[in-house]
Structure 1
Amino acid sequence: MSGNRKMKAVVKHRRGFGAELQSVDVPTISDNEVLIKVKATSICGTDVHIYKWDEWSESRVKPPYIFGHEFSGEVVEIGAKVSNVEVGDSVSAETHLVCGSCPQCLTGKAHICQNTKIIGVDTHGCFAEYVALPAGNLWKNPKDMPYDVASIQEPMGNAVHTVLAGDVAGKTVAIIGCGPIGIMAVGVAKAAGAARVLAFDLNEYRLDLAKKMGATTIINSKEEDPLEVVEVLTGGNGVDVVCEMSGHPIALNQGFKMVTNGGRMSILSLPVRPVEIDITNDIVFKGITVQGITGRKMFETWQQVSALIHSGQVDVSPIITHHLPLEEFEKGFELMIEGNCGKVVLHP
C-alpha cells in the first residue's frame, strides 16, 4: 500500500488471536484497478478463522495485512484501462482472483481455477475505508440496493451455488448447519420451489432465523435425532437433496444417511480434518451424486443472487442482525464466535 492519504483498517497484525484497528495508507491503483470507498462489509466464517488463528489460517495467511472480503461500496477512482465501471457506481466483488489461463479458466470453470487467490486471505481485504481491486472482479449493484444487503451477496452466492447445483423444485431439501450461509440457503431453496426445507442446527437463535427464512421444519440436533425426524417426515424415503454446511463429522454422516436413493449431497462445508464415511452403503449402493461446492460460478451465480434479492424472491433482511461501526469490530467477532447472530455488518 502506498500514497499519502490515511484510512482506518482492521489489520490482522500478528500470528495469533485477534486483530487491531490501525491507520494505514489508502491504496493506490494500477491501470486495471478500481478504488472503492467501502460502505458496508460483513464478517464471514473465514474471517473468524483468521481472527481466532486456527490451524487453517496458521498455514494460509501471512500477517500483517488487512483482512475481510465481503463488502459493497462506491467507486471513487478508476484506472486508465478500466471501462466496465464508472465513478459513482455501487459495486460488490467476486472474491476469487483467478488466473484466466489454466484449463479450468479457459473452459468456463473459473470458480475452480487452479491458481485462485482470495481477497482478504491472500491479498489485502476490505475491513477498511477503501479497497483497491481488479476491475474484472467487480459486480455492479442496482442503484436502489441497500449497501448492507449488497455486502452479503458474496456469501449468498455460496448458498445459491450449493442449492442450485441441481434441481430442487418440488423436492425435500435438508440444510445441515444454519450459519449465515445455511440460513440463506433455506431462503434460496424456498424461492427455487422446494416443497419442504428441513433446517438442522444446535443453535436455537439460528434455527429461529432459518424459520424466518422459510424453513418448513427446524430440528435441533441436540434434542432430536435428525435421522428419526427425517424417517417420519419422509415416510422412510429420505430427503432428495442435502446441502451440508456444518462440516461436523457426525452431521456429515447423518447427511449421507438421510439422503434418498439417487439423491444429491452438495457439500460446501470445510471439515477441519478427514472424515470417515460409509462409501459402500451411503454412496455406492444408494447411487447418489456427491458434489463439492466452492465459490460462485463466475458470473452466473452473481446474476442469480442479484436477481433473487432485487426481485424480492429472497428477502435477506432477517439474516442481517447486527450493524456496527468498523471501530467495534471486536464486538462483531465476539457475536460471530458465540453464534448469536446472523450476518454482522461493519460500517467504516
Structure 2
Amino acid sequence: MRALYKPDAGPGLVMVDRPEPVPAADEVKIRVLRTGICGTDLHIRSWDDWAASAVTAPLIPGHEFFGEVVEVGPSVHDVQVGDLVSGEGHIVCGTCRNCRAGRRQMCIRTKGLGVQRDGVFAEFLTLPGANVWVHHESIAPEVGALFDPLGNAVHTALAFPVVGEDVLVTGCGPIGLMAIAVARHAGARFVVGTDISENRLAMAERMGADLGVNVRGDGAAVIREAQQQLGMREGFDVGFEMSGAPQALPSMVANMNHGGRIAMLGLPSGPIAVDWGTVVTHMLTVKGIYGREMFETWQAMGSMLQTSSVLRERIASIVSATFPARDWEQAFAAAATADGGKVIIDWTEH
C-alpha cells in the first residue's frame, strides 16, 4: 500500500510502499478515503524538539481520517464491513484509575495514533474496534475527516456553559474556527475571535463571530476596544485559548470578567508569563483541554451536525483545499502557511 513514512528519527517524510496492516482480534481494518493534516503532523515532519521527545520512529503519521471498514476482527462488536467511519486517535489502557472510572480521555498510558503507532497517512490502517466511530447518517468525506479536530473544538466549546455568555476565542486556526461555530450554535451572546491572519479573521466572522480582531501588537488593548465596540461592560465570561501563542493567555486573562472561565487547548511552545495575581483576585478558572471526551464529545458533535444545517455548512467550509495523495508535499506546504482552513488529502486519487 502507499504510505507517507518516517523511516527514522529526523526531518522529512517519504511516500513509499508498505505492507498492509493485519488487524488483531479486537481491531478493524479500514480503507482510508480522506485524511486531514494537523499541526502535530507538521511537527512530526519537521522533527522539532516536541517530535523528538514524543514520537516513535519508524512511523506512518496522521490521525484525522474518514474511511470504509474492510475487515473486522472476531472480538469486535457493533462495527461491520462497509461501515463509513472516523476514529478516536487516543488508544487507552483500560485499566488505570481514570479508565476504570470512565474518564478514558485522562488515561495515563495513552498511545496516539500516528504518534506512537502507525497512523492514517496510508491506504489502510488498523484501529481497535472500541475506537471506531460509525457514521450512521450521511456525511461528506471531507467532513468525516474533520471529526477528530472537531472533537477538540466541541470539547473546548462545551467545557463551560456558554448560553447567553460572552466568549473570547484566541487563535482562529481550523479548531478555533470550529469552536466559534459551536459556541454560536450553543447560544453564546457575543463571540470574538482573535488572530494575526486577516484571512482567518474573515473566516471567523463567517463562522459566526461578531468580530474578528487582529492582535498583532498590543493584543490586550485591542481586545478591550472590541468589548467597547460591542457594548460589553464587564469582560468576557468564557475564553477558549486555542493558539498556544505566548501573548494569548495573558491578553485573555486581562479581559475576563470576575469569575470568568478559560478552557485552554493551545499547546505553548515555551513558558508563558501569566499575571497569577489577576487569576486569584478575579477568581478565574483555567481548565486544560486535551483531545475529546470518550465518547460524549463524539455523540455531541454527531448530534449537532445532524440537527443543524447551518452548523454543517460552517464546519464544511473549514476545508480550504483538497489534494490527491500524490501531491502530499503541496498539501503540507498549504497547511504550513497558517493562513487558511483545513487541508485534506484524498487517498482515492492516484
TM range (shorter): over 0.9
Question: One-letter code of the match for 2:103?
Answer: K
Q: Which residue is 2:105 aligned to?
A: 111
In 1, Cα distance between the equivalents of 2:256 and 2:334?
33
Where does residue 267 of structure 1 map in the other structure?
Answer: 264
Contact 2:180 2:208 in 1 (8 A): yes
Helix, strand or coil for the counterpart of 1:314? helix
Shift of 1:240: 0.7
Residue 299 (structure 1) aligned with residue 289 (structure 2): no
What is the CA–CA distance in structure 1 between the aligned matches of 2:136 and 2:339, rounded to whole Å? 31
Give the whole-Å Cα distance in 2 for the aligned partners of 1:201 and 1:299. 30
List gaps (5 residues or longer) in structure 2.
none
Q: Structure 1 234/294 Cα, relative in aligned 2: closer, same or farther at 3 Å?
A: farther
Distance 1:10 1:235 in 2: 49
**Separation of aligned partners in 2, 1:296 and 1:335:** 26
> 1:181-232 deviations in whole A, cap 9, x for unaligned?
0010010000000111100000112112111111110101126743332441
Structure 2 distance, partners of 1:196, 1:227, is: 13
Aligned AA (2:17) = S
State whether structure 2 residue 281 is matched by structure 1 residue 285: yes
Q: Indicate which of 59, 63, 78 corresponds to 2:57.
A: 63
State the superposition RMSD in angstroms.
1.3
Find out whether 1:89 has 2:89 as its counterpart.
no
Aligned residue for 2:317, secondary structure, equals: coil
* Deviation of the 1:52 alpha carbon: 1.6
1:285-341 per-residue CA deviation (whole Å, 9 max, x = no partner) reads 001111001111100000011112222251212101111111211111111111132
AA of the residue aligned to 1:168: V
State the one-letter code of the partner of 1:215.
A
Q: How far off is 1:60 after superposition?
A: 1.1
| Counterpart position of 2:153 | 159
Rounded to whole Å, the distance in 2 between the matches of 1:227 and 1:66 is: 41
* In structure 2, distance between residues paired with 1:153 and 1:227: 30
- CA distances 1:83-133 after superposition (whole Å, capped 9, x unpaired): 220000011101110111111111121101111111000100000100011
Residues 56 and 117 in structure 2, CA contact (< 8 A), matched pair in contact too: no
In the TM superposition, what is the alpha-carbon distance from 1:14 to its structure 2 partner?
3.3
Q: Which stretch shows the higher mean deviation, 21-30 or 308-317?
A: 308-317
Summarize the Cα distance change of 1:193–1:143 in structure 2 as closer, same or farther, 3 Å threshold: closer
1:195-214 correspondence to structure 2 within 5 Å: 195-214=189-208
* Alpha-carbon distance in 2 for matches of 1:217, 1:341: 18
State the distance in 2 between where 1:130 and 1:103 align: 33
- TM-score between both structures, scaled by the size of structure 2: 0.94
- The residue correspondences of 1:180-191 to structure 2 (distance < 5 A) are 180-191=174-185
Q: Which runs of 4+ in 1 moved over 6 A?
A: none
The change in CA–CA distance for 1:178 and 1:30 in structure 2 (over 3 A counts) is: same
Match of 2:238 in 1: 241
Asked if structure 2 preserves the Cα contact closer than 8 Å seen for 1:99 and 1:116, the reply is yes
Q: Deviations over 1:238-283 (max 9, x none)?
A: 11111001111111100111111001011001102221211112x1
Hey, what does 1:4 align to over in structure 2? none
User: In structure 2, what is the equivalent of residue 3 of structure 1?
Assistant: none
Distance 1:228 1:28 in 2: 56
Gaps (5+ residues) in structure 1? 1-6
3-state SS of the aligned residue for 1:49?
helix
Shift of 1:236: 4.2
Secondary structure of residue in 1 paired with 2:33: strand
Query: Post-superposition shift, 1:37?
Result: 0.3
Pairing 1:320–2:316 present? no
CA offset at residue 15 of structure 1?
2.7
